[in-house]
């Protein structure tokens, strides 16, 4: 096993180091690291708003009133649900520092560019605002593109010397404001043309274009296992690029899966044979153990086996939310997003879980889910017990072990790199292979 792990590390580590040296991937990673604390805090509030305990909502309503849920959902909405601008700050700052241009100007222009592309809404009373859906993970792809492109334009204009230069006697903060005028004007004009261009198409906005282009392929997918695999691959790829794959997939597939769940519930109540293996509970409780990508095993790896302080701390923070199928601290905190090593098991695990569950149920080793529409935050083992009896719980125990085993070798690669950086600095990762492959320097692309 150790030899196999070392061989896998030898293959993947050079690729990971080269991609990690890419300025755009590094900028995106910096953006997620910068927002990680907010994402973890938001996940904790979401957990307290959805604890799957009988009588919990009634208890909280008696304690805090009918609007008790807002005590937790408002902090969640103001962190997780508007995460895109927070991530963009780190992306723009990282790129600006790479090019050695003013990071404050880059951050401001990135945000302005994103807001130009984001549609506004108005109610009957004339009040206007920005839909939070576009500020959440659903808008991340547009936000990251806006941050990268606006910063590239900003530095290009500055490097061309198209700036207003004031005498050295002028205070630096004043001079910096004037030097950003021309680059800022060019960035804003260009993004406004992009907005106008989208408004002339059936999509109307950049956000709608991204959503509809990604959503359309799902419309043709049905309820069979092969097409379910395609759905899970599609969802995982979206998450891998920072797009909330579960929201996009769920918008199309949840009505179908919930209908299949209702058919099972009707048959179960009538004592008839359950008709559907694949349904909402198959997807939410047996495939997504720990959240998208079945990351509960990864959380266990961090908690039990991490050598780096960075991942030890993250493991302690991510373990409890992971038990309730909340894994944003891992997806955006490691991050898994645009991480060439962890994307591999992240894409594989849903396929392994789906195949394992489907086979167990098709062979009558585990009863089909009974149609109970339990909360999505119900922890594994408990959810398996409620949906498919004790055999469902046993299956989930086995699945958690498989998840940890699949994630472990990939986790070990990123953990060793982080540990070397903590203990030896950048010199500690000079050789990523026994043969002495040198860590690559930042590249131009």
Tell me the C-alpha to C-alpha distance, in Å, between residue 205 and each of 120, 197, 319: 10, 9, 38
Q: Which two tokens stand for residue 124?
A: 């009957």
pLDDT at 15: 62
The angle that helices 296-305 and 309-323 make with each other, rounded to 10 degrees, is 140
- In this predicted structure, the answer to whether residue 401 has a pLDDT above a threshold of 60 is yes
Tell me the C-alpha to C-alpha distance, in Å, between residue 42 and each of 49, 325, 349: 11, 14, 25
pLDDT at 433: 42
pLDDT at 130: 86
Burial class (CB in 10 A: 0-12, 13-18, 19+), 137: buried
Enumerate the β-bridge partners of residue 121. 129
The stretch 154-170 carries a mean pLDDT of: 81
Task: Tell me how far apart the alpha carbons of residues 94 and 91 are, in angstroms, rounded to a whole number.
Answer: 5
pLDDT at 341: 86
Residues contacting residue 22 through CB under 8 Å, at least 6 positions apart: 442, 443, 445
Tell me the C-alpha to C-alpha distance, in Å, between residue 105 and each of 26, 39, 92, 100: 20, 25, 9, 12
Task: Give the range among 20-29, 270-279, 300-309 with minimum mean pLDDT.
Answer: 20-29
- In this predicted structure, the answer to whether residue 442 has a pLDDT above a threshold of 60 is no
pLDDT at 271: 78
* Residue 343 near residue 363 (C-beta atoms within 8 A): no
> pLDDT grade, residue 437 (50/70/90)?
very low
The stretch 87-113 carries a mean pLDDT of: 92
Task: Tell me how far apart the alpha carbons of residues 273 and 346 are, in angstroms, rounded to a whole number.
Answer: 34
Half-sphere exposure of 189 (CA within 13 A, CB side): 8
Q: Which two tokens stand for residue 107?
A: 């951050």
pLDDT tens across 200-257, in order? 998 899 988 887 776 556 555 556 788 888 888 888 888 887 777 787 777 667 757 7
- In this predicted structure, the answer to whether residue 187 has a pLDDT above a threshold of 90 is yes
pLDDT at 338: 79
Going 214 to 220 to 223 to 225, the CA torsion angle's sign is: negative
Assign 52 to helix, strand or coil: coil
> Cis (ω within 30 of 0) for the bond into 335?
yes
pLDDT at 8: 60
Residue 251: which of 138, 122, 371 has the closest Cα?
Answer: 138
411 vs 39, residue with greater confidence = 411
Determine the distance from the C-alpha atom of residue 254 to the mean position of all C-alpha atoms in its chain, rounded to a whole number.
19
Q: In this structure, are strands 121-122 and 128-129 parallel, antiparallel, or unpaired?
A: antiparallel
pLDDT at 403: 95
Task: Tell me how far apart the alpha carbons of residues 151 and 91 are, in angstroms, rounded to a whole number.
Answer: 9
- In this predicted structure, the answer to whether residue 393 has a pLDDT above a threshold of 50 is yes
In 3-state terms the chain splits into helix, strand, coil percentages (rounded to 5) of: 70, 0, 30
Task: Tell me how far apart the alpha carbons of residues 176 and 326 are, in angstroms, rounded to a whole number.
Answer: 43
φ and ψ at 436, to 5 degrees?
Answer: 95, 40
Residues contacting residue 78 through CB under 8 Å, at least 6 positions apart: 42
The stretch 95-106 carries a mean pLDDT of: 91
274 vs 260, residue with greater confidence = 274
pLDDT tens across 335-382, in order? 888 788 898 999 999 999 999 999 999 999 999 988 777 777 889 999
pLDDT at 428: 52
Task: Give the range among 56-65, 158-167, 297-306, 336-345 with minimum mean pLDDT.
Answer: 158-167
- In this predicted structure, the answer to whether residue 185 has a pLDDT above a threshold of 60 is yes
Task: Tell me how far apart the alpha carbons of residues 27 and 34 are, in angstroms, rounded to a whole number.
Answer: 10
Give the rounded percent of residues in the chain with a pLDDT score beyond 70: 84
Mean pLDDT over each residue of the chain, to the nearest integer: 82
* The Cα angle at residue 308 between residues 330 and 287, in degrees rounded to 5: 25
pLDDT at 3: 63
- In this predicted structure, the answer to whether residue 168 has a pLDDT above a threshold of 80 is no
- In this predicted structure, the answer to whether residue 80 has a pLDDT above a threshold of 90 is no
- In this predicted structure, the answer to whether residue 327 has a pLDDT above a threshold of 50 is yes
* Residue 341 near residue 410 (C-beta atoms within 8 A): yes
pLDDT at 432: 45
């Amino acid at each position: 096993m150790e030899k196999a792990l070392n061989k896998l590390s030898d293959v993947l580590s050079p690729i990971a180091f080269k991609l990690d040296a890419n300025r755009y991937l590094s900028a995106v990673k910096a953006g997620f690291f910068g927002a990680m604390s907010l994402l973890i805090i938001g996940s904790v509030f979401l957990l307290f708003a959805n604890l799957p305990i009988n009588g919990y909502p009634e208890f909280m309503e008696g304690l805090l009133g009918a609007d008790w849920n807002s005590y937790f959902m408002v902090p969640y909405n103001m962190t997780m649900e508007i995460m895109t601008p927070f991530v963009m700050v780190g992306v723009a700052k990282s790129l600006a520092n790479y090019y050695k241009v003013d990071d404050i100007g880059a951050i401001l222009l990135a945000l302005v560019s994103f807001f130009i592309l984001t549609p506004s809404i108005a109610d009957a009373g004339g009040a206007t605002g920005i839909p939070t859906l576009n500020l959440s993970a659903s808008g991340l792809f547009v936000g990251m593109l806006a941050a990268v492109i606006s910063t590239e334009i900003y530095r290009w204009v500055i490097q061309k010397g198209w700036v207003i230069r004031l005498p050295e006697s002028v205070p630096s903060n004043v001079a910096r404001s004037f030097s950003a005028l021309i680059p800022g004007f060019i960035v804003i004009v260009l993004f406004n043309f992009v907005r106008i261009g989208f408004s002339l198409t059936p999509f109307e906005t950049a956000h709608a274009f991204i959503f509809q282009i990604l959503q359309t392929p799902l419309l043709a997918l049905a309820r069979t296992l092969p097409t379910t695999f395609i759905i899970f691959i599609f969802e995982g790829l979206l998450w891998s690029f920072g797009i909330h794959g579960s929201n996009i997939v769920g918008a199309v597939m949840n009505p179908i899966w919930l209908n299949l769940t209702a058919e099972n519930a009707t048959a179960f109540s009538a004592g008839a044979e359950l008709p559907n293996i694949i349904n909402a509970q198959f997807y939410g409780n047996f495939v997504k153990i720990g959240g998208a990508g079945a990351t509960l095993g990864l959380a266990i790896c961090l908690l039990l086996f991490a050598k780096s302080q960075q991942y030890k701390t993250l493991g302690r923070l991510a373990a409890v939310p992971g038990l309730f199928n909340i894994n944003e601290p891992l997806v955006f905190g490691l991050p898994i997003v645009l991480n060439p090593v962890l994307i591999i098991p992240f894409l594989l695990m849903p396929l392994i879980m789906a195949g394992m569950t489907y086979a167990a149920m098709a062979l009558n080793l585990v009863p089909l889910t009974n149609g109970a529409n339990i909360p999505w935050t119900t922890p594994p083992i408990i959810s398996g017990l409620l949906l498919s009896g004790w055999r469902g719980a046993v299956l989930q125990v086995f699945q958690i072990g498989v998840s940890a085993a699949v994630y472990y070798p990939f986790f070990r690669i990123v953990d060793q790199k982080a540990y070397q950086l903590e203990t030896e600095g950048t010199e500690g990762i000079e050789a990523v292979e026994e043969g002495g492959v040198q860590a690559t320097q930042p590249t131009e692309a």
